[in-house]
Amino acid sequence: MKRTLSLLVIILLIPVLTACSNTSKNINENNASSKTVIDKNINLNIMTTDKLLYSIVKAIVKDRHTLNYMFKDRISEINFKFTYDSLNNVSKKDLFIYVGSDFEPWIDSFTDKLNKNNLGVINSSRGVKFISYNKPVKYDDITINQNPYYFMDIDNYKVMLVNIKNAVEDKDPQSRSFYEQNFSTELKNLQTYQKSLKSVNENLSNYVFLTLNEDLAYFINYNKLNLLDTNSSYNNILPLDPNERASLQNKLNNLQDKAVLLYTSDSDLKNNYSIIKKYHIKTAKIMMFNGNYSYEDTLKYNINSLKGIYEKK
Give the angle 28-33-39 at the CA atoms, nearest 5°: 125
Q: Is 187 helix (H, G, I), strand (E, B) or coil?
A: helix
Digit-coded pLDDT (tens) for 260-276: 999 999 999 999 999 99
Distance from C-alpha of 115 to C-alpha of 255, rounded to nearest angstrom: 57
Lowest mean pLDDT among 5-14, 183-192, 234-243, 296-305: 5-14
Question: Hey, how many other C-beta atoms are within 10 angstroms of the C-beta on 273?
Answer: 10
Question: Hey, how many other C-beta atoms are within 10 angstroms of the C-beta on 249?
Answer: 15
* Strands 95-98, 120-123: pairing kind: parallel
CATH superfamily entry for domain 45-188: Nitrogenase molybdenum iron protein domain (3.40.50.1980)
pTM of the shown model: 0.84
- Residue pair 92/108 in contact by the 8 Å Cβ criterion: no
pLDDT band, very low/low/confident/very high, at 37 (cuts 50, 70, 90): very low
Distance from C-alpha of 109 to C-alpha of 126, rounded to nearest angstrom: 18
Helix (H) or strand (E) holding 303: helix 295-310
CATH superfamily entry for domain 204-310: Nitrogenase molybdenum iron protein domain (3.40.50.1980)
Digit-coded pLDDT (tens) for 55-105: 999 999 999 999 999 999 999 999 999 999 999 999 999 999 999 999 999
pLDDT band, very low/low/confident/very high, at 222 (cuts 50, 70, 90): very high
**DSSP symbol at 143:** E
Average pLDDT over residues 300-311: 96
**DSSP symbol at 120:** E
**DSSP symbol at 83:** -
pLDDT band, very low/low/confident/very high, at 233 (cuts 50, 70, 90): low
Radius of gyration in angstroms for the set of CA atoms belonging to the chain, rounded to a whole number? 29
Q: Is 288 helix (H, G, I), strand (E, B) or coil?
A: coil
Q: Do domains 45-188 and 204-310 have the same CATH topology?
A: yes
Q: Is 241 helix (H, G, I), strand (E, B) or coil?
A: coil
Q: What is the side-by-side strand order in the sheet with 282-285?
A: 208-210, 259-263, 282-285
Helix (H) or strand (E) holding 71: strand 66-71
Q: How far is CA 133 from CA 46, 130, 143, 220, 311, in A?
A: 31, 10, 11, 14, 33
Domain ranges of the chain: 45-188, 204-310
- Residue pair 205/176 in contact by the 8 Å Cβ criterion: no
Distance from C-alpha of 285 to C-alpha of 269, rounded to nearest angstrom: 10
Distance from C-alpha of 134 to C-alpha of 132, rounded to nearest angstrom: 6
What residue type is 238 in one-letter code? L
Distance from C-alpha of 59 to C-alpha of 221, rounded to nearest angstrom: 26
Question: Hey, how many other C-beta atoms are within 10 angstroms of the C-beta on 271?
Answer: 17
Average pLDDT over residues 188-210: 96
Question: Hey, how many other C-beta atoms are within 10 angstroms of the C-beta on 161?
Answer: 22
